[in-house]
Amino acid sequence: YRITGKTIALTSEVLGEVVRRFAFKKLECFRDLHVYVRDRENLGRMIDERFTYFDAREARKIAGL
């Protein structure tokens, strides 16, 4: 994407699936990709579903929720 000048357009559902697959680096993955989510209104729900309680608090802080 950087080479073509295009930006990534993720849904919160797709980001949730990506985060699920990175079991030990969920927050790092989330930190890098949350800015590309186009349906941010669903981001809070995805965080609650995919993160533990303490990680969800950190993910919400990262996303500014």
Single pTM value for the model: 0.79
- CB count in 10 Å sphere of residue 51: 20
13 within 8 A of 41, measured Cβ to Cβ:
no
pLDDT confidence tier of residue 2, bands split at 50, 70 and 90: low
Tokens of 27: 């927050």
pLDDT at 56: 94
Q: How far apart are CA 5 and CA 20, in angstroms?
A: 28
Res. 1: pLDDT tops 60: no
pLDDT tens by residue, 6-63: 777 889 999 899 888 888 888 998 998 888 898 889 999 999 999 999 999 999 999 9
